[in-house]
Chains A and B, each alone.
Chain A
Amino acid sequence: MNKPNTSPKSNNSQKPSALFYASLLLIGLHCVYIYLTFLRVPLNSDHANQALQAADILNGNILLKGWNLTGVSFYLSELPFYVLGTALSGIDTYAYLIAASSMVICLSILGYRLAFRDHLSAPLPKALFYLALTGFPTLTWLGYLRGHCAIFIYFFLMLLVIERIFTAEPVHPSLWILFGLLTACGCMSDMQLLIIAVVPVLLFCVLNLLMNEPKFSARRSVRLAGIALTGTALGMLMDTALMKLGGINKNSFLDTRKFINMDTLGEKFLLLGKGILNVFRADLPDGTWSPQNIFRLAIAAVIFLTVILCLFSILHRFLKKGEGDPVSVICALSISVMYLVCFFTDIYTAPDSARYISWLPFAAAVLICRSLESKGSDFRLLPCAAAFLSVGLLFFTPPVTKRVETPQDRLAKFLSENGLTEGYADFWNASHTTVAAKDQVRVRAIRGQVPVLGEPDHLEMQNWFCKTEWYRTGSHNFIVFDGSGYLHVSEDVVTTLLGEPNRILETGEYRIYVYDRDLTKEIILPAHISTSQ
């Protein structure tokens, strides 16, 4: 039973008009705008470490030997973008800016490609409407989006392949291979793909097969489900192989996650609600109820409610009558699964967990645009331009040409000027400063280790996004404090454990303890690291 169901209008005979090229130009300008806006989103230590990883790969450590990672490896998701960024600018904040902005640009372009099946009719209004929904990102949203952006790119690529699988006649074998590879590489790099792509694809296939007469080819559904499962297994295998071959230590991600305590559902609802508002650009920059902020909230609410309506309509039609197109249905299932996972599990526990749902505005744009298109809505220039302009007026961030300066930039400069080249700090100041100093000053992350009861009894390597070698070579003679005491890296603890410093320097919010001795041996490796390496 090979019967492609969703055949988009054939436009092979139609030639692109001047407006089509104008729409491409608009999207291109939007990409430039994203890069310029990113200049305002400061680097943090997570992304600085990815730049350092990329530099290590470019230096020949392809298997990341000796690295201690977070819960996911990002090996074939974020890291290729960082390799590109580091190759172009070396270890520098611009490496991060190139990587993060190119990821968001890719996601935006793929979202635009997915949002419409027919890009040749009314191209300019469609581009304007799409940009009204997703363009003009806020700094908060971009800050969340850079976290797991590449895996959302994988998902959109998978959707493109799925669209071809269910419309092409016959299906070229390369499409199946491509889908399998995307699943495997994505799952290997970031297991979030399991939640946002694999589970929804499986659900789609199973629900389609539960129809007495499946609307979408049953054979293709079975094959798609089979390849999704095989790809996931292969991805997990590749991840394990990478860890073994590279001798990498990885913290856990999905295997330690739990469902939340059901008695805390109310708090979770508020936390998730705030996250949703933030990614839909309704964060109030100055926290006031100014007319501009009220309009921002109203637009976010309208978009969000429209998505919910589209989502229910798509799922209802699919479940009741088996109707719809695979991209919309899988996208709707993906949003639903992600919401449920975020709501009922401890994957989403803090405001910055919004990074897991930061792709929703793009998925929402895909759902809204495809729904409107399938209902035969005319995309007229005037209303679309009006939507674009009104959103633009509210959310426009004036572009800058120079990146924002952070306290860590000033710290890097200060340390360099004072001849301090190797030292320690808490996680959020360590690698950020290293990258800000273009690797000329190397600050490594440490923490105070606290026994079950009592005060910290030693300082040790912060086992998160770092290389063990950093803590065994070189001569570290200073420790930086920012007053936050993050993970017990505070002046009191360090004085108790390492003694009084020989000098104390101050710059901005930082105080720096300088010792006349090498502190390297006094920073202990965590037990499982020291035994494994």
Chain B
Amino acid sequence: MGKNLKQYVRRLTLILLTIITGLYTFTQALQVPLTETSAEKILAAWNILQHAEPLSTWSFHPLELPVYLLFVKVLGLGTFTSIAVSVFFYLILFCTGLLIMKSRGLLNTPNILIWTALTGLPDPNWLSTIQSAPFLILGLILTPHFLSDFFSRRKRQSAIFASTSFILTSFSLPKPFTHPAQPHAVHETLRALQSVFRADFSQQPIMHFTTGRYFLMTIVLLLMIWGLIRTVRQFTEHQHQHTAQYLYALFMIITLLWCCFPFSGDRNQKMSLCAWLPYGTAFLLIFIIEDPAFRDLHLARGHLPLSTLAGIFSLLTILFSIGSIVRSRPVSPADRVILYLNEHNQLQGACSQNDLALLSVAAKGKISFSTDPDAPGNTFTILRTSPETAIAAQFEEIPPFLILIHQ
């Protein structure tokens, strides 16, 4: 009876934790500006549902298709759909980690706290990156897990799972030598790491709540490096550890090396690659903490138990993350353009190919956009502000957009 109650309380706590994380993520997702890629996906899903456009425009991960179709079907065309999709992807990743921990018997309070502190409090930047390549991250989390299962238990089922997750990951893997060589690759990798670890304090005010979060997450970043060095040392000394620990470390090292390679793309592309590293770091630290030899050593040094430390660290991270909660969605330039067009009763107009999806999604399908400026029925044209654009007096400027309403 007591054991059942304990299990019941633990499940309830986990469900509550997931709900709270989801709500927090939602407040952060509100701040994620609608990206062109995300808008294109939503518009493509909308077009499929409306039988308006063939599938050929699709150029992203096949597993994303059903997700976008489902959300567009339920929520319709709009920015909110993008927010919901990003929260959904984030929760899938968060819960996947918890399930992996459960399957390995690691689901205890300190580990849950570590998982929450490291991966449970996303910021808009990281969320945006997750949304751009969710299945790459999911694959990189799952593949070492299934592989280690296969190596330790030799089950055919694990081999199938591992190869499936690897194949699914490979759809999103960057193609080598497709990007031009970027200068300062190591520096850019560090900046990308700072960003995905929510420790990018560049040009942020110092007297702010989030400074505490930058500080704590910088410590996490350093702990990742410490964890990798420790794991490599354990491996070279043939210490018996979880195979998964070695595999996660191997995948993380490959990711870091790949990012430091000049042909691995710009900072945004490095961020997509590194976006799974907070998850990998959480697993790595959990495996290290679960090592009885490390626990004994830690206590022998006279430090507080690791569970208490993890608790203090998590609570501090949560406390310092609260400062960035917002309750309403900031108005984007695309939203302001739509507002302006609504105020002027405009229903059909032209814009560039790049802005088509962004503006269509922001308009929730109520204003029709096309790329043909001479299409019959057009009453306005939207351009982008650029140094080359001569701003004529009749243009309304909503940076970075210029709106011209035809007379």
**A positions within 8 Å CB-CB of B:** 210-213, 215, 254-263, 320-322, 341, 344-345
Contacts and interface: CB of A to CB of B under 8 A. Distances in A.
B299 A254 contact: no
Contacts of B201: 259, 262, 344
B61 to A, nearest CB: 31
Contacts of A322: 302
B309 A321 contact: no
A211 B202 contact: no
B302 A211 contact: yes
A256 B200 CA distance: 18
Given A255-B207, A321-B301, A321-B302, A210 B309 contact: yes
B242 to A, nearest CB: 26
Contact of B205 (A257, A260, A262, A263): A257
A258 B204 contact: yes
Nearest to B188: A263
A263 B187 CA distance: 8
Contacts of A263: 187, 191, 202
Contacts of B312: 210
Interface in B159-207: 187, 190-191, 194, 200-207
Contacts of B206: 254, 257-259, 341, 345
A514 B240 CA distance: 88
B305 interface: yes
Contacts of A341: 206
A221 B269 CA distance: 47
Contacts of B205: 255-259
20 contacts: A210-B312, A211-B303, A212-B303, A212-B304, A254-B207, A255-B205, A257-B205, A257-B206, A258-B204, A259-B202, A259-B203, A259-B204, A260-B202, A260-B203, A262-B190, A263-B187, A263-B191, A320-B301, A322-B302, A344-B201
A320 B302 CA distance: 9
A255 B206 CA distance: 7
A212 B207 CA distance: 32
B305 A212 contact: yes
A252 to B, nearest CB: 10
A212 B302 contact: yes
A255 B205 CA distance: 7
Contacts of B305: 212
A4 B190 CA distance: 44
A262 B303 contact: no
A255 B208 CA distance: 9
Contacts of B309: 210
Nearest to B215: A340
A262 B202 contact: yes
A257 B207 CA distance: 8
Interface in B269-302: 299, 301-302
A215 B309 CA distance: 18
Given A258-B204, A262-B191, A263-B202, 10 more contacts: A211-B302, A257-B207, A258-B205, A259-B203, A259-B206, A259-B214, A260-B203, A262-B190, A320-B301, A341-B206
